[in-house]
Amino acid sequence: MIITRINLYAYNIPLKAPIAISLGTIDSARNILVEIQTSDGLTGWGEGSPFWMIVGETQASGMAAAQDMARLLLNRNPLDIEGCVTTLTRYLPGHVTTRSAFDMALYDLAAKAANMPLYQFLGGSRRSLVTDETIYINTPERMVDDALRIQANGGEAIKVKLGTSRVDDIRRVEAIRTAIGDTTPIRTDANQGWDVVTAQAVLRAIGGWNVQYCEQPIRRHDIAGLRQIRRCSPVPLMADESLFDATDAIRLVRDEAVDYFNIKLAKSGGIFDALAINAIAEASGIACMIGCMSESRLALTANAHFAAARQNVRFCDLDACFEHAIDPVQGGIVYRGYQIELSDAPGIGAEVDPAFLSRLETIAISSSTAL
- Binding-site entries: 189, 215, 240
- Binding positions for Mg(2+) are 189, 215, 240
The percent helix, strand, coil of the chain (3-state, each to 5) is: 40, 25, 35
CB atoms within 10 A of CB 58: 15
Q: Which of the 8 DSSP states describes residue 317?
A: -
Per-residue burial over 114-131, b = 16 or more CB atoms within 10 Å of its CB, e = otherwise? eebbbbbbbebeeeebbb
CA dist., res. 323 & res. 134, Å (int): 10
At 285, the amino acid letter reads G
264 is catalytic: yes
Coil, strand or helix at 77: coil
For strands 158-161 and 186-189, give the pairing: parallel
At 24, the amino acid letter reads G
Say how many CA atoms lie within 13 Å of 193 toward its Cβ: 21
CA dist., res. 241 & res. 192, Å (int): 8
CB atoms within 10 A of CB 346: 18
Q: Identify the active-site residue in 16, 112, 159, 264.
A: 264
Q: Identify the active-site residue in 112, 159, 161, 267.
A: 161
Nearest alpha-carbon partner for 5 in 78, 89, 95, 103 = 78
CA dist., res. 333 & res. 127, Å (int): 13
Per-residue burial over 308-338, b = 16 or more CB atoms within 10 Å of its CB, e = otherwise? bbbebbebbbbbbbebbeeebbebbbeeeeb
Nearest alpha-carbon partner for 212 in 190, 237, 177, 187 = 187
The catalytic residue positions are 161, 264
